[in-house]
């Protein structure tokens, strides 16, 4: 049995100031060093850092390290998610698709499903588009935007092996049957790339907001819009791209002050250029220019991010004054709770041993996924 000792542990439920954790694939024991009793089969896991936290859960990411979920092979997706684990601390990942032809989306879903058979890191799929609004298309190609269709999504869910956990959609474009079908399949309805009015959203079944502030009807003094819905509606979870580019730090702090750490889920919304030198890249079949840590289409539209999750974790504390305990909720706990990832999100007996080792500056030193150190992509 592996053991890490004498660490400050943010479990996701409490803070253990001098603790230990004993694990193989799952956590067998966790507690204060005062209660630690050595066992003859203990093997101490080398861990130079001072802090342990649960592995991150990224529910919205298109790719990174030169690869994209839309066109990567199963082997490449497997390679990509392991690089994300090693370099960023992501131990649970929702492969995110883009607005494209149905044929390309279906090919992507099949490749993701095949990749998921080979790694426990892939925990789901986020379908972002094509069921969105052309008014707030963002980097989604308007040529392929379609009206929400539950029959199409049903077909896609079967192709994916039931991996679809969340769909970004424009509620103002959807019929009640679409929402009802999603709810019946436990697929989270997330309003995004939407021009919906606040009153429309209150009548919808949306319970989540895709990248709050970005590509949506904004908050105005006479119309709260999608952003107001995300900020003010009890029980609604909001995604934040915490890079200081998609959202300036002051607006990140506003979301934190209004919603608190329980209502926010950090995401990267990263694209294939993450982890690569700056220059020309691609997203959803469109050329992207990456300069000064920002990815843009030719017309200047921001196109995904090159944000790492560990940087998002650091940024949310810097931008808002949130504690590390609160940042753990925004990086792991809330996602696990919302999506029913019952083995993930916290460090506790019986949970999967998804553990990050950090130094005092919250830099990532080691990623442990299902009890195994991730050494390479």
Q: Which sequence positions are flagged as catalytic?
A: 269
Measured CA distances, 249 to 239, 242, 246, 334 (Å): 15, 8, 10, 21
Q: Report the distance separating Cα 325 and Cα 53, nearest Å.
A: 9
Q: Report the distance separating Cα 184 and Cα 330, nearest Å.
A: 27
What's the token pair of residue 309? 């999750």
CB contact at 8 A, 115 and 74: yes
Q: For 86-155, list the strands marked E by DSSP.
A: 90-97, 122-128
What's the token pair of residue 112? 């993701």
Residue showing tokens 């789901």: 124
Q: Report the distance separating Cα 15 and Cα 181, nearest Å.
A: 40
Cα angle value 76/339/119 (rounded, 5°): 25
> If DSSP states are collapsed to H, E and C, what string results for 294-344?
EEEECCCCECCECCCHHHHHHHHHHHHCCCHHHHHHHHHHHHHHHCCCCCC
Q: Report the distance separating Cα 18 and Cα 121, nearest Å.
A: 29
Q: What separation, in Å, do the N-terminal and C-terminal C-alpha atoms of the chain show?
A: 25
Going by C-alpha positions, the residue among 267, 272, 368 that lies closest to residue 76 is 272
């Amino acid at each position: 049995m592996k053991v890490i000792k004498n660490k400050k542990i943010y479990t996701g439920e409490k803070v253990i100031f001098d603790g230990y954790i004993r694990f193989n694939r799952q956590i067998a024991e966790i507690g204060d060093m005062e209660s630690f009793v050595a066992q003859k089969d203990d093997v101490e896991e080398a861990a130079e850092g001072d802090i342990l936290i649960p592995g991150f859960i990224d529910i919205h990411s298109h790719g990174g390290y030169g690869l994209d979920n839309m066109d990567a092979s199963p082997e490449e997706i497997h390679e990509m998610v392991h690089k994300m684990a090693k370099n960023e601390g992501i131990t649970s990942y929702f492969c995110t698709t883009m607005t494209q032809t149905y044929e390309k989306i279906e090919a992507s879903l099949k490749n993701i499903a095949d990749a998921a058979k080979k790694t426990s890191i892939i925990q789901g799929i986020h379908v972002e588009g094509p069921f969105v609004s052309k008014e707030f298309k963002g980097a989604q190609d308007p040529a392929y935007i379609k009206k929400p269709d539950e029959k199409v999504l049903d077909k896609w869910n079967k192709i994916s092996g039931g991996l679809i956990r969340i769909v970004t959609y424009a509620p103002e474009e959807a019929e009640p049957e679409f929402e009802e079908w999603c709810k019946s399949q436990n697929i989270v309805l997330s309003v995004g790339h939407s021009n919906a009015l606040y009153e429309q959203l209150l009548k919808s079944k949306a319970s989540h907001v895709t990248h709050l502030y970005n590509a949506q009807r904004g908050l105005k003094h006479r119309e709260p819009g999608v952003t107001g819905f995300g900020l003010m509606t009890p029980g609604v979870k909001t995604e934040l791209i915490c890079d200081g580019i998609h959202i300036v730090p002051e607006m990140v702090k506003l979301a934190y002050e209004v919603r608190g750490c329980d209502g926010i889920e950090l995401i990267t919304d990263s694209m294939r250029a993450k982890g690569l030198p700056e220059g020309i890249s691609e997203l959803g079949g469109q050329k992207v220019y990456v300069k000064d840590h920002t990815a843009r289409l030719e017309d200047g539209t921001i196109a995904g991010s090159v944000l790492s999750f560990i940087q998002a974790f650091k940024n949310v504390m810097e931008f808002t004054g949130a504690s590390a305990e609160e940042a753990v909720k925004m990086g792991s706990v809330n996602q696990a709770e919302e999506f029913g990832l019952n083995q993930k999100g916290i460090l506790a007996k019986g949970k999967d041993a998804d553990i990050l080792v950090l130094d005092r500056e919250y830099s990532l030193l080691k990623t442990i996924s299902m009890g195994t150190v991730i050494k390479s992509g």
